[in-house]
Amino acid sequence: MTASPTINLLIAEDEEHLGLVLQKELSRLGNHVVLVHDGQAALEAAGETDFDVALIDIMMPKMTGIDLCHFLHESYPDTVIIVESAMTEIHYAIEALRHGAFDYITKPYTLAEVQAAVERALHHRLLLTSSKQYDRRLEELVSARTDEVHEASSTLSAALKSLALTKQSTLSALAVALETRDVDSPGHSERVVAYCKRLGIMLELGSVDMAALEQAALIHDIGKIAVPDSILMKKGPLNEQELVHMRRHVDFSLRIMRGMDLVDGTREIVAQHHERLDGGGYPKALSADKILIGARILAVADAFDAMTSERRYDSTRTFESAIDELRRCSGTQFDPRVVDALTRVPVDRWREIGHAATKMRAAAQDRDRIKAASLHAAETH
């Protein structure tokens, strides 16, 4: 047996002489051996020392070895128990195994047999300990990895959120850039987005189509940036040549969008927002079933806001009159399903939606101005 000063042995043996011999011999091998003579004393000793192995006699006063096995195993499951019994008591030994003993030796035994049994018990204890350590390590590992995954996923969702915000603010900045040329009334893009969202919900668009519609609505006319002022700012109707030029804004928009990371379908909606149901639109004169639902919605929302907020020609219509005009063009220029959806919403609700979008846009501009001013102050400080 490999002697180790860290091995703690408990011997519960009522035959005093035998107990002393065992204690002496096992101590000589470098073990720390505690000898007791009954079950009660064994339990008390176990409460004070963490025993690696307990060698228990089955026949003892006060408490049988079987009961002691049971209590020891319940309270100190890491202590490996060996019972010793006479050949005639072998059924007790088997009973003890059922109550948590690991092994048994039969009397009379040699010291070598006891040493071999203790060694087996120690080996078992080592396996038990390392298996528990392994389980503990595994639990720690799983918990650490779970934390890492949670952390990574929250970092990822924060990054995606920030990316989405950055993308959105870039698109908004483009919309604002267009407004600086006084093409549309302030907040036109944001109101068109708000109207599109409401109509998209009513027409039960899926989440990707909704996202594409929203992005397309925000930058639908960005290509007008490339249209000459003489055409863009012209008061009164455009001549044929000017119209051709103006209509090229769709193509310019698509060119500007080329380098952008946009939701699938956004480009197609922008490309088709001037197509008409009757095939009389531009740039491709697509007919009804070739026009995407997103483009049909955008066409209605765009015209609705243009009619109700246009400033340059002092030709602003009331919401009621704009709805009448959309109804008049339903089935020819506009998709009747979209116009129907629009008419199902009370006029006052459209007014509120439009106001809210304009206010949000103004608040965002204020925030940007304050941010720019504080950045400027920090730089010049």
Site for Fe ion in 6-45 (CB under 5 A): none
Within 13 Å, how many C-alpha atoms sit on residue 379's CB side?
Answer: 6
For residue 283, say if its preceding peptide bond is cis, omega within 30 degrees of 0: yes
Q: Which is nearer to Fe ion, 95 or 221 (CB)?
A: 221
Q: How far is the CB of 352 from Fe ion (least distance, A)?
A: 21
Q: How far apart are CA 235 and CA 358, in angstroms?
A: 25
Q: How far is the CB of 292 from Fe ion (least distance, A)?
A: 15
Q: Which is nearer to Fe ion, 41 or 254 (CB)?
A: 254
| 95 in contact with Fe ion (CB under 5 A) | no
Give the binding range for Fe ion (CB under 5 A) out of 135-143, 220-228, 346-354, 357-365: 220-228
Q: Which is nearer to Fe ion, 214 or 302 (CB)?
A: 302
Q: How far is the CB of 192 from Fe ion (least distance, A)?
A: 6
Q: Are 81 and 72 in contact (CB under 8 A)?
A: yes
Which is it for the CA torsion 186, 189, 193, 199, positive or negative?
positive
* Inter-helix orientation angle 16-28/111-179, to 10°: 60
Site for Fe ion in 221-260 (CB under 5 A): 221
Q: Which is nearer to Fe ion, 37 or 188 (CB)?
A: 188
Give the binding range for Fe ion (CB under 5 A) out of 105-113, 194-202, 215-223, 359-367: 215-223
**How many binding residues for Fe ion (CB under 5 A)?**
2
Q: Which is nearer to Fe ion, 125 or 220 (CB)?
A: 220
Q: Are 66 and 12 in contact (CB under 8 A)?
A: no
Q: How far apart are CA 61 and CA 57, in angstroms?
A: 10
Residue from 84, 103, 275, 302 binding Fe ion (CB under 5 A): 302
Q: How far is the CB of 188 from Fe ion (least distance, A)?
A: 6
What does the per-residue mask of binding to Fe ion show for 107-126, with x meaning CB under 5 A? --------------------
Residue 324 identity: D
DSSP letter string over 170-230?
HHHHHHHHHHTTTSS-TTHHHHHHHHHHHHHHHTT--HHHHHHHHHHHHHTTGGGGGS-HH
| 275 in contact with Fe ion (CB under 5 A) | no
Q: Are 354 and 308 in contact (CB under 8 A)?
A: yes
Q: How far is the CB of 291 from Fe ion (least distance, A)?
A: 14
Q: How far is the CB of 249 from Fe ion (least distance, A)?
A: 6
Q: How far is the CB of 140 from Fe ion (least distance, A)?
A: 59
* Inter-helix orientation angle 293-309/336-344, to 10°: 50
Q: Which is nearer to Fe ion, 13 or 221 (CB)?
A: 221
Residues that bind Fe ion (CB under 5 A): 221, 302
